Amino acid sequence: MLTQIRRLFGLLLGVTILLIGMGLLSSLLGVRATLAHFPGWQLGMVMSGYFAGFVIGSFICPWLIRSVGHIRTFAGLAAIVASAALAHALAINPWSWLALRLLTGIAMVGLYMVTESWLNATLSREQRVPVFGLYVILTLMAMAAGQLPLLAAPPTGPTLFLIAGMLIVFGLVPVTITRLDQPAAVNSPNLPPWRLVRRAPFAITATFLAGLVTGAFWGMGAAFATRIGLSAAGVGAFVAAVIGGGVVAQLPLGRLSNRLGRRPVLIGSALAGAAFAVLMAASIHGPLWLLLLFAFGFGAMALCLYALAVAHMNDLLEPQEVLSATQGLLLASGGGAAFGPLIAGVMFDAVGARGLPYYQAAVLVLLAAIGILRSFQKVAPSPGEQGEFVPLFMTSQGGLEIAEEIFEDFAQVSEPFDTEQG
């Protein structure tokens, strides 16, 4: 495996540097918009633009990759993302920022597609779980590390926008000079079949609701921290604490779901995440360390829900059904993430900064309630009938195809679960 990691070093290094810049940009926009007194609904609209672009790009970028190849696509899209990052500093305006975030979302899903399809083509089946797990952890750690530059300059000037743009451009270098062979073309997602909703209703519902929660965090978490009076360092610490929880908990919760079943762990994680969200709201005027502790717990529970939902869906479907189901999950998670910041922004206007964690807690309780109701309606696969858990976050077609192939390998050597029962 170490040999493969060395081969992939340039690709992983480039993506990591690029995502440090993206982590900085995401938090910076929330802080800067709050200081510019954007109403909550306008800020939510701006942040929703990224995830709307993410969904749109899922249809556009496969064609682009097939047309010009992986390296050219990566270079071109990274240039678009860097230019958009710099353009935010030209005008502090919600409507121009909305257009820039939409463009950034379209380009970023293409960058994820290039990276993840490259991983998929380069690794053997035995290597995919550990190496893709490393990729997920590096991705989240890069987003957390992107909070550090907030200490370098005040958010009111252009300096931090320049740093974000530079980091994104630097991420281009290791990728464009890589010696890796370019992989085959990426599949283009189609509309999900209605059969998916009938066969795995809780999985698709959990994916959508998880998108509502995590999209609200990625879009509005920094604005929440700014509104409750935290300094730039405090904002960075808060965002990093949530992401750090997601990094630490991915594998332990995945392994726990291998032993206890996906649905119980999904329900338990949602309820625990709701409790931590309420505790965050209650601690905004307390010591910073206490807020960060609750933020870490919230991230540990909430940022793992998507991976658990994907694993639950894979356990319920036949291998030949997983590709179309994957396409449905992309739309469900992206749709939820697009609505999340917008709803959170409205809650900001209605009840203040506490509206974000209260909203997230309500959605997580709803997710748990649906899971409990589903437990009385259908039997879930037992731990012995489940596939392999794969660490994931909101990803592209390429990342989900890695999870599919691991699931297919498991299905070839195990007894199939009676999907009519699940």
Would you place residue 382 in the very low, low, confident or very high pLDDT band (cuts 50, 70, 90)?
A: low
pLDDT for 60-92, tens place per residue? 888 888 888 888 888 999 999 999 999 999 999
Q: How far apart are the first and last CA of the chain?
A: 36
Which residues 6+ apart lie within 8 Å of 359 measured at CB? 216, 343, 344, 347
Is the pLDDT at 55 greater than 90, yes or no? no
Least confident of 70-84, 181-195, 376-390: 181-195
Residue 396 has pLDDT above 80, yes or no: no
Res 414: pLDDT: 44
Nearest CA to 292 among 144, 149, 153? 144
315-358 residue pLDDT tens: 766 655 555 566 677 778 888 999 999 999 999 999 999 999 99
Q: How far is CA 168 from CA 14, 52, 84, 161, in A?
A: 9, 21, 11, 11
Q: Which of 164, 281, 292, 276 is nearest to 236 (CA)?
A: 292
What is d(CA 369, CA 207) in angstroms, rounded to the nearest whole number? 15
Instruction: Say how far apart CA 229 and CA 381 lie, in whole Å.
Output: 46
Average pLDDT in the 148-153 region? 89
Mean predicted lDDT score pLDDT of the chain? 83
Tokens of 220: 């509005």
- 422 has pLDDT over 50: no
**What global pTM score does this model have?**
0.85
Q: What is the DSSP letter of 124?
A: -
Architecture of domain 2-186+195-421: Up-down Bundle (1.20)
Q: Which whole number is the average pLDDT over 291-316?
A: 88
- Higher-pLDDT residue of 51 and 393 is 51
pLDDT for position 39 = 93
Nearest to 246 by CA among 308, 189, 186: 308
The pLDDT of residue 63: 85
Cα distances (angstroms) measured from residue 4 to each of 11, 85, 112, 219, 409: 11, 33, 19, 35, 20
pLDDT band at 291 (very low <50, low <70, confident <90, very high): very high
413 vs 127, residue with greater confidence: 127
Q: What would the mean pLDDT of 272-280 be, rounded to a whole number?
A: 97
* DSSP letter assigned to residue 116: H
pLDDT at position 225 is 95
pLDDT at 117: 77
DSSP states of 283-302: TTTS-HHHHHHHHHHHHHHH
**pLDDT given at position 87:** 96
Q: Looking at 97-101, 116-120, 144-148, which range is the least confident one?
A: 116-120
Reference 171, options 130, 111, 118; nearest CA is 111
